[in-house]
Amino acid sequence: MFRKSKAEEIGEFFTAPLQMNELSVFYLGVSGFIVRSSDQVVLIDPAGMLKDDEINELKGLGLVLFTHDHIDHFSSGKTQDVLKVTGALVLAEPKVAEKLTGKIPADKLLRAEHSKTYSIGGIAVTAIRGIHRGPIMLYLLKMDDATVFHGGDSGYVNLTDYSSQVAIVPVGRMSPTASPENAYKMVADIKPAVAITMHGSEKQKRQFEAKVKESLPQTTVYIMAPYTAKTVILQKKS
């Protein structure tokens, strides 16, 4: 059997049928994710990971989010390429927005301010200041019936004001601020049904998973390999 190309994997992710109560997540590696609900698609922190033929598969992409300007999260050149193909809007931490100013159309660029909620093509995004070497914004997304949190590679910040069905959290290296313990504390605040790991060594991912299993039995942990997809069935809120 022939192995599918990465571009084909992304193409399939974009076209696979999705129910209203489903959320599909594609992991690029590091902190890079594509999140898809029945009507919306968001790309988060893709850095320079997407090749040209993969970018061509990003049909229907409406929004790109950047948590901060570190090279494993953000690439100016690749963002320009993504915008050329998709015409998506970019919501970015202000230092990232500054680097994109003049490089992408001004009407496609929004600067994320702490605790503000942005309504973009049917998606509501709340920006939350994180803690890192340099400024970082974390995002809480509401897309169709789904809520998703993305923690960049932040250390722990108090998130008890927020809740989300899915939380994507950084569990450790190469981030100097992320750790299994910090990721666990974020998840304990947010109380998601599903927690997905990013960053971190295999050992740190297992440590995080064990801690969640022990103390937060209502949360299921997914440890995703790069270039794999996962569909989450969302529970109706009672």
The C-alpha atoms of residue 67 and residue 137 are separated, in whole angstroms, by 5
What does the chain come to in residues?
A: 238
Query: CB 31 → Zn ion: shortest distance, Å?
Result: 8
Four-point Cα dihedral 78, 83, 89, 94, nearest 10 = 40
| Segment lying near Zn ion (by CB under 5 A), choices 16-24, 28-36, 99-107, 145-153 | 145-153
Closest chain position to Zn ion (CB): 70
| Segment lying near Zn ion (by CB under 5 A), choices 93-101, 113-121, 147-155, 163-171 | 147-155
Kind and range of the H or E element at 11? helix 6-15
Task: Give the single-character DSSP code of 67.
Answer: S
Q: Which two tokens stand for residue 90?
A: 């970019």
CB nearer to Zn ion: pick between 152 and 180: 152
| Segment lying near Zn ion (by CB under 5 A), choices 26-34, 103-111, 119-127, 153-161 | 153-161
CB nearer to Zn ion: pick between 41 and 128: 128
Q: Which two tokens stand for residue 211?
A: 């801690």
CB nearer to Zn ion: pick between 174 and 233: 174
| Segment lying near Zn ion (by CB under 5 A), choices 47-55, 65-73, 211-219, 228-236 | 65-73
Q: Which two tokens stand for residue 191?
A: 């109380």
- Binder to Zn ion among 57, 69, 144, 153 (CB under 5 A)? 153
144 belongs to the binding site for Zn ion (CB under 5 A) = no
CB nearer to Zn ion: pick between 137 and 212: 137
Number of helices and strands in the chain (H, E): 6, 14
CB nearer to Zn ion: pick between 72 and 209: 72
Number of amino acids touching Zn ion (CB under 5 A): 2
The C-alpha atoms of residue 211 and residue 213 are separated, in whole angstroms, by 5
**Strand bridging mode 194-198 / 166-170:** parallel
69 belongs to the binding site for Zn ion (CB under 5 A) = no
**End-to-end distance of the chain based on CA atoms, in angstroms?**
45
The C-alpha atoms of residue 219 and residue 224 are separated, in whole angstroms, by 16
Q: Where in 183-222 is the site for Zn ion (CB under 5 A)? A: none
Q: Where in 93-132 is the site for Zn ion (CB under 5 A)? A: none
CB nearer to Zn ion: pick between 36 and 73: 73
70 belongs to the binding site for Zn ion (CB under 5 A) = yes
The C-alpha atoms of residue 24 and residue 34 are separated, in whole angstroms, by 8
Q: Which residues bind to Zn ion, rule: CB under 5 A?
A: 70, 153
